Amino acid sequence: MKPLLRNTVDLARRANLSKGYAAVFATVAIWSLPSLFMYYLNRFYDPWAQNFYRYSIACVAIAPLVLWRARRAGQTIDMHAVRLCLLPCLPNVVHQITQVMALFYMGPGVYTIFTRCSVIFTALLALAFFPEERVIIRQWQFQLGTLLGLLGAFGVIWFQANSQSHDRHIALPGLFIAFTATFCWALYGVLIKRPSAELGSIRSFGLVSFITSALLLPLMLAFGSIATPIHAGAHANLVLVISAVICITLAHILYYVAIHEIGVALSQTLQLLCPAIAMALSAWIYHERLTHAQLWSAAVLLLGAFLAMRTKPIATAETAENI
């Protein structure tokens, strides 16, 4: 009986690993696409409308799963849960707006590479918010990774040619917007730690998508155009829907499966493949090219992110990629 039981356990473990690897590689493929979708949609949607409609569609898409999980577990969505998720939504709103704006100054491949430095920002913020995790700052991998990552991130952006003039470097507003987007993404990754742990990944994301959509609505009414989908055309609207459902809702669910089956560390490490895939796709679709200085800076950034990730708090890593 024991060999039979052992074989059954081994088969179950292999099945779980296969499911985890399938989920993480699907996530890597999906998370290589958001900047390409947003870059395309910038031709038809203003940043305010694009983000409101994308997040609203993602909210509607995940709502049935949230309700099904809540009913199955006997959970309720009360004001305590809403209050838990409200604070992380504030930097998330800023991130969503600024990441779309950043794509007016740089290509989707460059932006995807640059966002890898959010790994470092997340770790630094975790050190500030969680005193018990400050011991990692003494590790040389973290110190060296942080330095290399920040230098590489600055180089990737700084050596981006200014498309609005003949300047060799990106315009300062573009530099500021890109750093703001990445910093707010890291801040969101740290602040979502508690709601994600208390409410669960799916339930917390359902609330985050709803609250984020609600916060984006007045911004769109004030600065954007609510009628954008009418003028954008069927093709652009279809791209918007696909990007919302796949890159926000589906990616979140798959990443949750990946970290559950194969762990946070490996799931996070494999995300470093995203910039290479995004860069290849952007070069093929939009003919985006990196200068030699940007390529070297990108290599330094990814090396720094990898080193910092080796020492990054596990609980923070688990939530750092919650789109």
Q: 274 and 31 in contact (C-beta within 8 Å)?
A: yes
Average pLDDT of span 202-216: 88
**The pLDDT of residue 237:** 94
Q: Which amino acid is at 47?
A: P
Asked if 265 and 256 count as a contact pair (C-beta separation under 8 A), the reply is no
Q: Name the residue among 207, 171, 175, 177 with its Cα closest to residue 192.
A: 207
Task: Please say whether the beta carbons of 42 and 100 come within 8 A.
Answer: yes
Residues 138 and 301 sit within 8 Å (Cβ to Cβ): no
Cα separation, 183 vs 95, in Å, equals 8
What is the percent of the chain with per-residue pLDDT over 90, rounded to a whole number? 22
* Helix axes of 251-262 and 47-73: crossing angle, nearest 10 degrees: 50
Higher pLDDT, 42 or 287: 42
Q: How far is Cα 223 from Cα 47, in angstroms, rounded to an integer?
A: 9
First to last CA, the chain: 46
Interval 135-165: pLDDT, tens: 666 677 777 877 887 788 777 777 776 555 4
Q: What is the pTM of this model?
A: 0.79
Return the pLDDT at 131.
Answer: 66
| Contact (CB, 8 A) for 283 and 95 | no
Q: Which pair of tokens denotes residue 13?
A: 């473990």
